[in-house]
Chain A
Amino acid sequence: MTTIELDTVRKEFGDDIVAVEDVSLTIEDGELVVLVGPSGSGKSTTLRMIAGLEAPTAGDILIDDLRVNDVQPQNRDIAMVFQSFALYPHRTVRGNISFPLEARDVPKTERADRVEEAAAMLDITELLDRKPANLSGGQQQRVALGRALVRDPQAFLMDEPLANLDAKLRKEMRTEVVRLQQNLGVTMVHVTHNQEEAMTMGDRVAVMNEGQIQQLAPPKEVYRRPANRFVAEFIGSPSMNLLSGSLADGTFRADSVDVSVRVPDDLADASTADPLTLGIRPESVQIVDSAGDYAFEATVDVVELMGNVQIVHIDLDGAEFLAEVDPDLVVEQGDSLLVRLPPEKIDLFDGVTAESPRIERAAEHGRSVDGPVAPEK
């Protein structure tokens, strides 16, 4: 029913600030796409352009194949939930939820029914006669959601709606938002700076940085096959380990430390750049008993027990390298360990452009063609 398409959309503020740089993105009907990135990456501006609250400097925004650049936000039939919830303090919860219905001249009895229905869906029926000031953060969040869904909009835009909630509530609401989105089958664009939120919520994740989409792919793909170093570092906690070095005869050798890894043939063939950066997720790093097979010796710097895993900080000649290991493994600071980097788990990035050589593979999976992809031949 509702698709949202951005065609080389650009937003400049003033003469020298480019907030969004030629972003192209198609959001399918009923899909939940998460825009994730650090502050200033242009994700909120992108969302506000879809909403109509900001006008793009160049490019087209299409809703259901209809160009909406010149359509006022109130006529786009899109609901938005704000980070600050933006409830109307002078109206009760009932008044807040029925406000969008009043704008559409919905008859009074129907309005009352629909408010009750939305309130029941969000479990806030008993709060209907309260003012927003007398609600907790989580309750305010629900009211904001109620106000968005009561009018049955074409699409939902969520501008960091969970950022103001405490950690426990944030996880609960995360699940609830996904459940609502799936039950209603509505198209949703969710903006967050929290990579965990992006991974758990999105059908697809668009990782943004410096106004550009760095990678647009399902969460698993973004995690397993990051398109570039930025995505590799931004997605995943703790961050991916990175080592700079170069490739010779199918073997990667790190520059400053005595670490080498046999690179799988397909990856080695694709990686023609020099220098290169090797990336490996902490959970893929192995602690082994016997030397050989490219295992290297390293000293334990710090051990952090997280409960289900423990994170071992390894000192690689000054550079920090993390390994996520079984919590039952007995390791202490100062221990010497044999570390192995399994070849099938490694990634390589161009040391200069920071791009992954698996470009073609990424492009097949919806990687933005306007991102900084420059296949080197």
Chain B
Amino acid sequence: MSVVEWTRHRLTGTTDEPVSLRGAFRTIGVTSFVSVMLVATLFPLYWTVNTSFKPAPETQTFPPTFTPETFTISPYIDVLTGAGSSVLVNSVVVSVGATVLAMVIGVPAGYAYARNPGKVGGKHLAFWILSLRMFPPIAPILPLFFMFRQVGMIDTYPTMMLLYLTFNVPLVVWLMRSFFQDIPQAVEEAAIMDGYSRLEAFFKVSLPLVSPGVVTTTLLVWIFSWNEFQFALVFTRNAAQTYPVIIPALVGGHATLWNQVAALSVMAMIPIIIISLLMQKRLVRGLTLGAVKG
């Protein structure tokens, strides 16, 4: 029984056991701990939303106001009529493009590694791919910058999508590899014996079976691409600038526009929250896929 289940069990009293004193203390302890953790994690979120609906002067008042005294949506309008709308569009284009590219390249690669262990690229290629994910992103930034500048590819969508492949492809390859490993080869062979080509067997049997894994991986890759800051800061100027770069620009200058920072942050969070909620069931299935044998 999980802590949550246990607590619910205790609180709703759906048990014939007498509630012991020790049990009661435990309930209080668990509830208090969970409450403190909830406040600690949700308060920044709440404060961001709160700030995003305040006029600029109210963000500086002391003591701070826990709800906007003057409720306004002007920070949103200001952000969207300023640089905000284009950076959000850029973020969508770059992150979606980078995600699709990474999945198109990484899923078949992961499949190849799962089905031909030790054969594809010899013993070391798979680990080399993973090692790309491990080194600090700041390390290759300068050489990459000079390379891209040489071919005139600074501040373009394809540049950002290609750069994000560096970190996304290893993640996709390794996650998908383990998802495909959990699909018995016999199931694919059965499809081949049933009259399908290897490729058809892949699309009709293997891929549907790893779909929770595909959803999870897509989401992880997309969130990385959506939030990435360092590459975006160095490789974009204007045309391909993504939202994480613009936020620091709102801080400093004449004044720090905390309400606009908050409004942009809220807008950046919304897609992630919506998609995660919609995909919650599949996401959890994907994350635990293979953890427990059916």
Contacts and interface: CB of A to CB of B under 8 A. Distances in A.
Interface stretch (A99-107, A110-118, A204-212): A99-107
A76 B208 CA distance: 26
B209 A73 contact: no
Interface stretch (B86-94, B108-116, B188-196, B278-286): B188-196
Contact of B197 (A74, A79, A80, A82): A74
Interface of A: 51, 53, 72-74, 78-80, 82-84, 86-90, 99-100, 103-104, 133, 147, 151
Given A74-B194, A103-B200, 17 more contacts: A53-B189, A53-B192, A73-B192, A73-B193, A74-B192, A74-B195, A74-B197, A79-B194, A86-B187, A86-B189, A87-B187, A88-B190, A88-B191, A99-B194, A103-B194, A147-B190, A147-B194
Contacts of B200: 103
Contacts of A99: 191, 194
Most buried by B among A53, A78, A133: A53
A88 B208 CA distance: 10
Most buried by A among B189, B197, B208, B209: B189
Interface string B183-215: 010110111111111001000010011000000
Contacts of A82: 186, 189-190
Contacts of B208: 90
The 5 A-B pairs with the shortest beta carbon distances in the complex, nearest first, are A103-B195, A100-B194, A86-B190, A86-B186, A80-B193
Contacts, number: 58
Contacts of B191: 88, 99
A14 B184 CA distance: 23
B294 interface: yes
Given A53-B192, A73-B192, A74-B192, A88 B187 contact: yes
Nearest to A77: B195
A87 B183 CA distance: 11
What is the interface of chain B mostly: helix, strand, loop, or mixed? Answer: helix
Contacts of A72: 197
Interface of B: 184, 186-187, 189-197, 200, 205, 208-209, 294
A90 B209 CA distance: 7
A79 B192 CA distance: 10
A84 B196 contact: no
B248 to A, nearest CB: 46
A147 B193 CA distance: 10
Given A80-B190, A84-B186, A89 B209 contact: yes
Contacts of A147: 190, 194
Most buried by A among B184, B190, B194, B195: B194
Contact of B184 (A51, A79, A86): A86
Nearest to B211: A90
B196 A74 contact: yes
B190 A104 contact: no
A79 B205 contact: no
Most buried by B among A51, A87, A99, A133: A99
Contacts of B192: 53, 73-74
A12 B219 CA distance: 44
Contacts of A100: 194-195
B195 A151 contact: yes
A83 B186 CA distance: 9
A104 B194 CA distance: 9
B118 to A, nearest CB: 12
Nearest to B188: A86
A30 B45 CA distance: 73
Given A88-B205, A89-B209, A133-B294, A103 B186 contact: no
B262 to A, nearest CB: 44
A99 B197 CA distance: 13
A368 to B, nearest CB: 27
A83 to B, nearest CB: 8
29 contacts: A51-B193, A53-B189, A53-B193, A73-B192, A74-B192, A74-B193, A74-B194, A74-B195, A74-B197, A79-B194, A80-B189, A82-B189, A84-B184, A86-B187, A87-B187, A88-B187, A88-B190, A88-B205, A88-B209, A89-B187, A89-B209, A89-B294, A90-B205, A90-B208, A103-B196, A133-B294, A147-B190, A147-B194, A151-B195
A151 B196 CA distance: 13
Contacts of A74: 192-197
A133 B294 CA distance: 8
A73 B193 CA distance: 6
Contacts of B184: 84, 86
